[in-house]
């Protein structure tokens, strides 16, 4: 635990004091997956880490998530399981039921903290409870009209890069990772690794190109999100030797990969909103070679915890400079900036701001 985090332990005084923590917070997680998710489910992961972190610091937290979710907060659930894991579910019905349930209980909370994209906003003006929305990503330009209407709400961005100009942002709060899950490894492995959704946005094909050009072995792991892309651009290169594909992996699988890795390749082709996997790799001491697009430069410090590149050629060059990276510096940066403790502290400050603004409104 870092020094600044000590301020935020339950019962302690500090910028967010005991009084503030008596407030009741609803954390609205998505219901695509369980909270926390078994494998994939980045938004549910953040909601889970936050809810557990707040509970540990003495907040009264109600988690709105699927019924099979696991939490030390009070669980309020109307949806059996994640609609992605339940063939009997209709995603639209699940979303409407789930979100409405939270807002129907708004009177029981001092704050609703929504991780539910634009949908929850449409209920926000029907309740008196303030609503904070963490925007985990703008899925398309077509969703902007709903943010424009509700631009006066309270927003948090997950990186400085992933902001829409007109919204009322209170802060950028980086997603925190559970550092205990990713033990630091002093010794580098030999291979290149790719971890993430198999989708053109993630540049898996560029990682393969870098492996071929550099003559290194690449191990790929992740959920296939774009079947055509996988079959046409990835699978033909998978040969059990220079390029391997493992399928989706959980935390143990990730750690096995980190142990084998000289570097993680993340040659995203569109701006990255917030690359959680970059921080995870760094936590394990693995340098990251990332495309300089979107938030990558907020996560990776060029030349210190990896390299920011503009394409496969620069990525190949960067591989020649891996020895310059101090693996323990990678770990330290994650501890300081991308830990759950850091994230929870940052959200506590955002909540405090909201409570002050709301009190000022009432006066």
Binding site for its own copies (CB under 8 A): 78, 88-90, 92-93, 96-97, 99-100, 103-104, 118-119, 121-123, 125-127, 140, 142-143, 145-146, 149
Between 119 and 181, CB nearer to its own copies = 119
For its own copies, give the closer residue by CB, 99 or 334: 99
Least distance in Å: CB of 215 to its own copies? 45
**C-beta of 129: minimal distance to its own copies in Å?**
11
Closer Cβ to its own copies, 79 or 299, answer by number: 79
**CA–CA distance, 286 with 322 (Å, rounded to integer):** 10
Least distance to its own copies, CB of residue 56, Å: 32
**Measured from the CB atom, is 18 or 126 closer to its own copies?**
126
CA-CA distances (angstroms) from residue 322 to 189, 317, 329?
12, 10, 13
Least Å distance, CB 105 to its own copies, is 10
Closest approach of its own copies to the CB of residue 243, in Å: 37
Q: Give the other-Cβ count within 10 Å of 325's Cβ.
A: 23
Closest by CA to 105, choosing from 74, 130, 121, 127, is: 127
Which residues is 306 bridged to in the sheet?
Answer: 288, 302
Q: Name the residue nearer to its own copies (CB basis): 80 or 335.
A: 80
Residue 272: helix, strand or coil by DSSP?
Answer: strand
CB 350 → its own copies: shortest distance, Å? Answer: 24
Cα–Cα–Cα angle for 306, 311, 317, rounded to 5 degrees = 55
What DSSP element (H or E) covers 176? Answer: none
Name the residue nearer to its own copies (CB basis): 142 or 187: 142
Q: What is the DSSP string of 179-224?
A: GGGS---SS--SEEEEES-BSGGGTHHHHHHHHHHHT--EEEES-B
Which residues lie across from 309 on neighbouring strands? 291
Q: Which of 26, 31, 28, 29 is nearest to 92 (CA)?
A: 31
Q: Is 226 left (phi over 0), alpha (psi -120 to 50) or beta?
A: beta
Distance CA 37, CA 355 (A): 30
Nearer to its own copies, 93 or 357 (CB): 93
Q: For its own copies, which is the closer residue by CB, 62 or 342?
A: 62
Residue given tokens 């409405």 in the structure block: 100
The CB density around residue 359, as the number of other CB atoms within 10 Å, is 9
Helix spans in 227-307 (H): 227-229, 251-260, 276-283, 296-299
Least Å distance, CB 221 to its own copies, is 31
To its own copies, the closest distance from the beta carbon of 124 in angstroms equals 9
């Amino acid at each position: 635990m870092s020094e600044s985090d000590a301020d935020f332990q339950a019962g302690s005084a500090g910028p967010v004091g005991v009084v503030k923590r008596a407030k009741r917070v609803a954390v609205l997680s998505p219901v695509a997956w369980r909270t926390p998710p078994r494998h994939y489910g980045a938004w549910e992961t953040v909601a889970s880490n936050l809810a557990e972190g707040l509970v540990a610091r003495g907040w009264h937290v109600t988690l709105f998530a699927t019924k099979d979710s696991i939490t030390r907060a009070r669980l309020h659930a109307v949806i059996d399981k994640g609609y992605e894991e339940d063939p009997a579910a209709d995603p639209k019905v699940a979303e409407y039921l789930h979100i409405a349930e939270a807002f129907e209980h708004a009177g029981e909370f001092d704050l609703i903290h929504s991780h539910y994209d634009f949908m929850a906003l449409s209920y926000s003006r029907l309740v008196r409870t303030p609503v904070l929305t963490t925007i985990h990503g703008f899925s398309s330009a077509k969703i902007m009209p709903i943010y424009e209407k509700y631009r006066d709400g309270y927003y948090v961005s997950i990186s400085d890069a992933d902001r829409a100009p007109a919204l009322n942002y209170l802060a950028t709060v980086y997603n925190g990772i559970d550092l205990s899950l990713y033990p630091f490894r002093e010794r580098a492995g030999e291979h290149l690794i790719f971890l993430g959704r198999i989708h053109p946005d993630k540049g898996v094909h560029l990682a393969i190109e870098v492996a071929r050009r550099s003559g290194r072995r690449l191990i790929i792991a992740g959920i296939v999100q774009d079947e055509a892309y996988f079959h046409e651009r990835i699978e033909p290169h998978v040969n059990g030797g220079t390029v391997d594909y493992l399928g989706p992996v959980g935390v143990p699988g990730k750690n096995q990969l980190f142990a084998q890795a000289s570097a993680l390749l993340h040659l995203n082709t569109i701006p990255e909103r917030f690359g959680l996997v970059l921080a995870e790799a760094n936590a394990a001491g693995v340098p990251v070679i990332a495309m300089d697009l979107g938030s990558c430069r907020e996560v990776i410090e060029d030349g210190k915890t990896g390299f920011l590149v503009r394409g496969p050629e620069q990525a190949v060059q960067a591989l020649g400079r891996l020895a310059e990276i101090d693996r323990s510096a990678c770990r330290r940066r994650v501890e300081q900036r991308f830990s759950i403790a850091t994230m929870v502290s940052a959200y506590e400050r955002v909540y405090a701001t909201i409570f002050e603004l709301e009190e000022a409104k009432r006066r």
